Structure 1
């Protein structure tokens, strides 16, 4: 395995997850039932195999010098060695998390395995609480094949861990003590979740039937006209207590594509068009309104900093909702004619976008 690079492992995951989505899509299209709310096409227990295999895969991905994963390994080793000089910029929640894991093991691969297991479990827990058994495996497979999922599990690990913790409490319909405590833990792990938490609380209290699509359009126009101004204005928030994030804003990563990214914009607008269309067809559901509005607002704010290098790291704070937005309406009732073809087609589009960008 040592002859393979981390990029090779990314390609393995992209091709493998796309193949899995293709098989699922084929199974859906060949299904003679119009809907499958009672009998799973694929047993949802298969999710637990994916959970374990995915955690092993993430944990054993090669660690390349100066990569994010290499930095996380150094943080963990510093805690093992009680070397506090390397922990100055580590946020308190992540420091405590590392201390807890270090109490049980001093092996980095075990540390990454546990972290990946938590990361995958957050998504799986949310899916099992939100979707009927017949849709759980389908949604989880789509989730792992979506753009950004792999990066948050193997590269942007701390942010992925924080987002996963948030998802354990995300299905709460009211602002409760449970939701507040869970959100606080997520923020302590990675401060970018403060943005997600605030918008989530706002949507719970002040959601609208139009799902704030007008805000997204307005922010798109502002980004086109005043993009550089917003990058400078939000710079302090985007700097995430380490030199690597500073370099994103200071353009030290000159080889990375910067500027207004049309491909990411097209990918981001697809679920908005779908959500608008499905609601025009008469689909009404309070939880769908919540996740759709949350996506629209989070993605709208991302538009303001779309020119920042590595902007997909910020975009994924909204992108993680895309598989749920596409599948949730179909899991509730027969929303469209030829519904199985819709599901299969949307799944293939999401997986193909990830494959296309991963193999560039």
Structure 2
């Protein structure tokens, strides 16, 4: 069995080697590429992550393992905090002796959801975009630690990808919300993008939120804490858990990371005048959710609030580079640089900054 502390490094090594290989040898396609390579990589990730050992290295995983089989299944609990996830966990805990099957299932939802989105949006570039998603700074963490939020995020992305089939999009939205109640923020932001469409004001709003964070204005954080339930308030309150293990204060590293899709979006919309309905929705959704995080930056679980926007990060970052058909377009010409810089940032953060 592979030691738990090596999992992250093996994962990054594999993603790095595959990304460099695909970037070097793959040529642009104008037709749908074979799904076989992407599907095999997805299957490997499901098995590799799903069958990981129960260890404190994966943080919340050990809590799920300790809670496993803690009760009898008495039927669907309509009062559960996370309607689908909590009932699924309780049901599987009543029929399986340990959590292995559950962890494999969660990995399958997480990685398969990503692959479905990449295939739907980028049929000619599925593999490289899937690798970009795997290389994202938060992907490994939410595949092994925050599995509940990770699965919910993949389902939400599927809802965006299938917005052309409203009935299916709504199903994915409801599934996402059912897996993690925090997705109500993303669902509400999604509804806002469908009603209020002035893109410039979303950028203005994001800058306003950044200024509030710089000035350490806590009004909005306290306001949101008062509006949410007890669990949500626990995320927003900085006094409930002094041993949670993360950093506090103004997170310049998080701001720099979060700003990349914003800068890209500004140039895409106002310099290159790209017109794409789905990209517009994703960009406005990202600006809204990331702005909410900045208003709550001083909360103790700031990284989990940031993930409400970060799960869109890799798709939003590369979408302009792969959605444009003109191979001579400036955004298309820099696609490989964007992919490699994104990967380099993750490697820097994991191997140097947090080391």
Give the TM-score band, short-chain normalised: 0.7 to 0.9
Q: Unpaired runs of 5+ in structure 1? A: none
Deviation at 1:238, TM superposition (A): 7.3
Partner of residue 323, structure 1: 314
Report Cα offsets for 1:82-123 as digits up to 9, x if no partner: 699xxx975332222224545764431121011110111111
Partner of residue 67, structure 2: 75
Q: 1:228 to 1:62 in 2, by over 3 A?
A: farther
CA contact (8 A) 2:49 2:144 kept: yes
Q: 1:259 to 1:178 in 2, by over 3 A?
A: same
CA contact (8 A) 2:118 2:129 kept: yes
Deviation at 1:243, TM superposition (A): 11
Aligned length: 346
CA contact (8 A) 2:73 2:90 kept: no
Partner of residue 334, structure 1: 326
Partner of residue 11, structure 1: 9
Give the structure-2-normalised TM-score: 0.85
CA RMSD of aligned residues (A): 3.1
- 1:38 matched to 2:54? The reply is no
Deviation at 1:216, TM superposition (A): 0.5
Match 2:110 to one of 89, 109, 119: 119
Q: Which has the higher contact order (CA 8 A, sep 6+)?
A: 1
Other structure's SS at 1:241 match: helix
Distance 1:308 1:125 in 2: 33
Matches within 5 A, 1:1-360: 1=1, 4-5=3-4, 7-27=5-25, 31=27, 35-38=28-31, 40=33, 43-65=34-56, 67-79=59-71, 91-102=82-93, 105-132=96-123, 134-173=124-163, 176-210=166-200, 212-235=202-225, 241=231, 245=235, 249-253=239-243, 255-279=245-269, 280-331=271-322, 332-334=324-326, 337=329, 342-359=334-351, 360=354
Other structure's SS at 1:345 match: helix
Report Cα offsets for 1:286-307 as digits up to 9, x if no partner: 1111111111111111111222
Q: 1:244 to 1:194 in 2, by over 3 A?
A: closer
Distance 2:131 2:286 in 1: 20
Other structure's SS at 2:200 match: coil
CA contact (8 A) 1:21 1:141 kept: yes
Q: Unpaired runs of 5+ in structure 2? A: none
Q: 1:237 to 1:54 in 2, by over 3 A?
A: farther
Other structure's SS at 2:321 match: helix
